[in-house]
Structure 1
Amino acid sequence: MADEKRASTDSSKAGANHTEVHDGARQAAAERGHAATDQFGQSLVQFDPKAEARLCRKLDLYIVPTVSLLYLFCFIDRANIGNAKIAGLEKDLGMKGYDYNILLSIFYISYILFEIPSNVMCKWVGPGWFIPAISLAFGIVSLCTAFVHTFPQAAGVRFVLGIFEAGMMPGIAYYLSRWYRRAELTFRLSLYIVMAPMAGAFGGLLASGILTLDSVGSIKGWRMIFAVEGIITIGLSIIAFFTLTDRPETARWLTQEEKDLAISRLKSERVATTEVLDRMDTKKLLKGITSPVTMSTAFMFLLNNITVQGLAFFAPTIVRTIYPDRSTITQQLYTVPPYVVGGFFTLALPLLSWRLDTRQIIIIMTAPLVIVGYSMFLGSTNPSVRYGATFLLSSSIFAVGPLSNSQVSANVVSDTARSSAIGLNVMMGNVGGLISTWSYLPWDGPNYHIGNGLNLAACCTTLLVATAALFWMKWDNKRREGLSVEEELAGMSREEIQDLDWKHPGFRWKP
């Protein structure tokens, strides 16, 4: 402990270098009641880079594959309705006019309503149990979609699907924040969010393959898509109950030294934090929701999801307007290549963010190509030009998912605030998803000027908001540098200091 005190003294002297401490101090930092930073937010502990790299490789191997597969089929179960639409769903259910848009909207109503409650429940129950449970539930609901025969039945199933899928994206983001440091988190989030564009590609291939079958049991046509994909989701969910570990302390596949390292690494980035997993607290929940960075990022994610979800639901329809004379299976296959490009950039941009330890600038970088893509849609009716534009759209829009969730996670302190911040971000994103369901209207086809114009406006607004937020963070960090930490914290108890969260004078925004 003497080393920790000496490090605290050094760090309080005008930003001296961090002092390396021995394993005993690191273990103390991993225990409850011990902070791993001084009052200025500077780490009291340094870590062996090789030991950290070994730990990260182990975390990547044990955690990321399971959550990635679950999210892949989460997104497939949500977006496969677009594949079913061009395979005869509307005709069989007697849908007309705006019925398809209504069917998409109903999903988002329940999704939005249950977003924050689901993430709070995820923290309370524990993500190791909660994530597999909701995955199992929406797999069952997806399977049930194969047996609907009327529009009201389909609407009811979609509403229930939204309830269970609401906790998936924010739950996994929150779960990964229990294991990875700020700079590492963005890329790990991308490893599962990349499943969104991959779901577009793989979902199109899978739907094409399924539709070549005569039947699955007594199920035929578009119903086979929901039946087969729902069964796969159920199987993966059952496996996840055995493979997901709730938190570092309960990980049987980590040694005690690795557990201490995992906990200390997280605490070393969180000013005034004495425990990584704090108790549920209303004040901290509100801190996560009311953070200026959370609110601005959530608004950007709303705008982004108008584009992302619109592309997911209407890509098959858009491709059909570009190549109306091709077969249904060929049209399904045309949706695959743009999503492959999207998957590449969904990994590449967060990887760049990880190396630079920045997110806001990368979010700004995602807008220009999308703006060009929608400008091409609006300015040309040439099939080759419009199909080329879909590649520009998918190149950037999916990367905002991991970047935005990582950004709100990096700019709060407590675990409780992190759960509500991520919940708000994803909730607002799905408000954008709800808007997207009305962006491509039947009478606006085949060129969809309203839908493409709305998406162009959303991308331009994202660029402006992201740039303004970046300058505000830099300005507020300079303002905080002029504060006296000792004077601001004078007379406060340890609990009161921890409740400050991002209002702590030693806290700095991380662009």
Structure 2
Amino acid sequence: MDSNGVEKQSVVLDDHVAHKEGLGTTHEAAERGHAATDRYGHSLIQFDPVAERRLRWKIDFYIVPTVALLYLFCFIDRANIGNARLAGLERDLKLEGYDYNSLLSTFYISYIIFEIPSNMACKWVGPGWYIPAISLGFGICSICTAFVDNIHSASGVRFLLGMFEAGMMPGIAYYLSRWYRRSELAFRLSLYIVMAPLAGAFGGLLASAILKLSHFGSLHEWRMIFAIEGIITCGLSLVGFLTLTDRPATARWLSQEEKDLAIARVKSERVGTTEVLDKLDGKKLMAGILNPNTIATSFIFLLNNITVQGLAFFAPTIVKTIYPEASIISQQLHTVPPYVVGAFFTVAFPFLSWRFDKRLIFFIMSAPLMMAGYIMFLASENPQVRYGATFLTASGAFAFGALCNAHVSANVISDTARSAAIGTDVMLGNVGGLISTWSFLPFDGPNYHIGNGLNLATASTTLLVSILLLFWMLGDNRRREKKDVDAILAGLSSKQVQDLDWRNPAFRWRP
């Protein structure tokens, strides 16, 4: 028996049971042209939980660490401008008035424009090549930022940075959806999205360490931050080219039995699907974008990103207003603890989501934490109270990245629709990022009543929209239960049934 013997035996035994009951096998379910569900959405194959668990651990080990590290430095390369601001960026580039806000906005303009096209390109090229390639691109952009000398060159580099980074969050989310079941996805997404708050913590520590250097080549102060962190990103992207593989069928580290099981698992949750990776199709593309759940969830993510990106860019500035007498390095270090607490909740809520196979309830639980934090900001000028408020805000805000992407992924059927839905979610989310760059304005400091009031309003709206979406999904599921699936699907070809996607009467929303 080889190293995969246990898994093989488990799957073969399960296939035998499946054949006996007329359910098919994992190999048949994995093959192109074979559906893994009946027309009512019920799985046609039984899975051995032991074999599934071992396969899941293997995928976790080979896939998640690489994409998590790439996303960590993606977020660091985006947010380190906040650390650079404390280290003299505005002074050296002669930024005045709203110049800093304009510089931040440039990034989001390209980020939003290229969001959906980038995710389509990721599907077309293949994530195994595309994700490391764009990582190399934004690593180079970060290095180039170290050599800018005015707002115009800085804005040009930030525009290119946004173009390359546009594909990272939706691309990785789409990539992981090729490997994991619906219930498993939110937690796996959290394992890389947790890098956003950790980037806030680690980025502050790394920036503090870099600033202790007297120079890096001919570079000094804030320029060293961009150069060193960009070089690290480029190195990690080269590792990504070697370790990432497009899909289960091309994974050299899976046996054929494991590949069949990995494909059949994903197929078994997609109503009427005969192939996991369908070709790009206009109808399915629009099914992902115009899905009511996608639109509502993307709006929630837009609201959330006003808070998340605002924290990334302005946390050092906010801490500076709380502790104005502290040294620059001390101010950098004070940004770390709130992010660490936020990172805990970023993983904790999606982990519970995995166990309960629910997502919207955690939207509803997270929003009040943000509301409480911003109420504290607005109601008190005490530095300790305000610093405590940053912990509450981070605790509620960061989990939405994993939960929103998992939620739109769980509520479409085809691979193309899933790619489009995730791209739409992140695109609208980054409209919130663009808004965040104008939420903390110079004239509003040091208390930032406008910025904090805006974030209180977005958190409150998030709570309201999440509750309404939950009731709508449950109500629509009850309406779908009353429909005659056979009568509606009668006379439709297999392709026509697949083109229905979430409009298929056998499909059920997964809140």
TM-score under structure 2 normalisation? Answer: 0.96
Q: CA deviation at 1:23?
A: 10
Between the aligned partners of 1:319 and 1:22, the Cα distance in structure 2 is 64
Corresponding residue number in structure 2 for 1:288: 288
Corresponding residue number in structure 2 for 1:97: 97
Between the aligned partners of 2:378 and 2:417, the Cα distance in structure 1 is 42
Going from structure 1 to structure 2, the CA distance change for 1:24 and 1:45 (only over 3 Å counts) comes to closer
Corresponding residue number in structure 1 for 2:123: 123
Q: CA deviation at 1:34?
A: 0.4
Corresponding residue number in structure 2 for 1:332: 332
Verify the 8 A CA contact 1:109 1:162 in the aligned structure 2: yes
Runs of 4 or more, structure 1, over 2 Å off, are 18-24
Between the aligned partners of 1:155 and 1:284, the Cα distance in structure 2 is 36
Letter in 1 for 2:67: V
Q: Deviations over 1:233-255 (max 9, x none)?
A: 00000110000010000000000
Q: Deviations over 1:264-284 (max 9, x none)?
A: 000100000000000110000
Verify the 8 A CA contact 1:204 1:333 in the aligned structure 2: yes
Verify the 8 A CA contact 2:19 2:25 in the aligned structure 1: no
Letter in 1 for 2:258: E
Verify the 8 A CA contact 1:21 1:45 in the aligned structure 2: no
Q: Deviations over 1:383-433 (max 9, x none)?
A: 000000000011110000000000000000000000000000000000000
Between the aligned partners of 1:43 and 1:19, the Cα distance in structure 2 is 14
Letter in 1 for 2:314: F
Between the aligned partners of 2:53 and 2:493, the Cα distance in structure 1 is 37
Verify the 8 A CA contact 2:23 2:45 in the aligned structure 1: no
Verify the 8 A CA contact 1:19 1:46 in the aligned structure 2: no
The equivalences for 1:481-500 within 5 A come to 481-500=481-500
Letter in 2 for 1:491: G
Going from structure 1 to structure 2, the CA distance change for 1:206 and 1:22 (only over 3 Å counts) comes to farther
Between the aligned partners of 1:30 and 1:78, the Cα distance in structure 2 is 40
Between the aligned partners of 2:267 and 2:19, the Cα distance in structure 1 is 16
- Tell me the secondary structure at the aligned position of residue 189 of structure 1: helix
Verify the 8 A CA contact 2:75 2:196 in the aligned structure 1: yes
Corresponding residue number in structure 2 for 1:350: 350
Between the aligned partners of 2:106 and 2:255, the Cα distance in structure 1 is 47
Q: Count residues with an aligned counterpart.
A: 494
Between the aligned partners of 2:20 and 2:77, the Cα distance in structure 1 is 49
Between the aligned partners of 1:408 and 1:434, the Cα distance in structure 2 is 22
Between the aligned partners of 2:40 and 2:151, the Cα distance in structure 1 is 59
Corresponding residue number in structure 1 for 2:510: 510
Q: Deviations over 1:424-450 (max 9, x none)?
A: 000000000000000000000000000
| 2:110 is aligned with 1:73 | no
Identify unmatched segments of 5+ residues in structure 1.
1-17
Q: CA deviation at 1:22?
A: 8.9
Corresponding residue number in structure 1 for 2:215: 215
Q: CA deviation at 1:70?
A: 0.1
Q: CA deviation at 1:363?
A: 1.0
Between the aligned partners of 1:22 and 1:212, the Cα distance in structure 2 is 68
Verify the 8 A CA contact 2:112 2:431 in the aligned structure 1: yes
Letter in 1 for 2:240: A
| 2:277 is aligned with 1:263 | no
Letter in 1 for 2:243: T
- Tell me the secondary structure at the aligned position of residue 440 of structure 1: coil
Corresponding residue number in structure 1 for 2:199: 199
Between the aligned partners of 1:418 and 1:235, the Cα distance in structure 2 is 30
Between the aligned partners of 2:284 and 2:20, the Cα distance in structure 1 is 31
Q: CA deviation at 1:20?
A: 7.9
- Tell me the secondary structure at the aligned position of residue 87 of structure 2: helix
Verify the 8 A CA contact 1:20 1:45 in the aligned structure 2: no
- Tell me the secondary structure at the aligned position of residue 295 of structure 2: helix
Verify the 8 A CA contact 1:245 1:251 in the aligned structure 2: yes
Corresponding residue number in structure 2 for 1:7: none
Between the aligned partners of 1:19 and 1:78, the Cα distance in structure 2 is 52
Between the aligned partners of 1:507 and 1:369, the Cα distance in structure 2 is 33
Verify the 8 A CA contact 2:24 2:45 in the aligned structure 1: no
Q: Deviations over 1:300-358 (max 9, x none)?
A: 00000000000000000000000000000000000000000011000000000000000
Verify the 8 A CA contact 1:108 1:430 in the aligned structure 2: yes
- Tell me the secondary structure at the aligned position of residue 366 of structure 1: helix
Q: CA deviation at 1:474?
A: 0.3
Larger deviation, residues 63-72 vs 362-371: 362-371
Verify the 8 A CA contact 1:187 1:350 in the aligned structure 2: yes
Verify the 8 A CA contact 1:44 1:268 in the aligned structure 2: yes
Corresponding residue number in structure 2 for 1:437: 437
Letter in 2 for 1:432: G
Corresponding residue number in structure 2 for 1:233: 233
Verify the 8 A CA contact 2:144 2:157 in the aligned structure 1: yes
Q: CA deviation at 1:364?
A: 1.0
The equivalences for 1:168-183 within 5 A come to 168-183=168-183
Corresponding residue number in structure 2 for 1:454: 454
Verify the 8 A CA contact 2:118 2:166 in the aligned structure 1: yes
Verify the 8 A CA contact 2:71 2:195 in the aligned structure 1: yes
Letter in 1 for 2:76: I
- Tell me the secondary structure at the aligned position of residue 275 of structure 1: coil
Corresponding residue number in structure 1 for 2:6: none
Verify the 8 A CA contact 1:21 1:46 in the aligned structure 2: no
Verify the 8 A CA contact 1:205 1:332 in the aligned structure 2: yes
Q: CA deviation at 1:491?
A: 1.1
Verify the 8 A CA contact 1:83 1:207 in the aligned structure 2: yes
- Tell me the secondary structure at the aligned position of residue 63 of structure 1: helix
Q: CA deviation at 1:19?
A: 9.2
Verify the 8 A CA contact 1:19 1:44 in the aligned structure 2: no
Between the aligned partners of 1:24 and 1:304, the Cα distance in structure 2 is 44
TM-score under structure 1 normalisation? Answer: 0.96
Between the aligned partners of 1:481 and 1:24, the Cα distance in structure 2 is 27
- Tell me the secondary structure at the aligned position of residue 286 of structure 2: helix
Verify the 8 A CA contact 1:137 1:164 in the aligned structure 2: yes
Q: Percent identity?
A: 71
Between the aligned partners of 1:475 and 1:94, the Cα distance in structure 2 is 56
Q: Deviations over 1:161-212 (max 9, x none)?
A: 0000000000000000000000000000000000000000000000000000
- Tell me the secondary structure at the aligned position of residue 404 of structure 1: helix
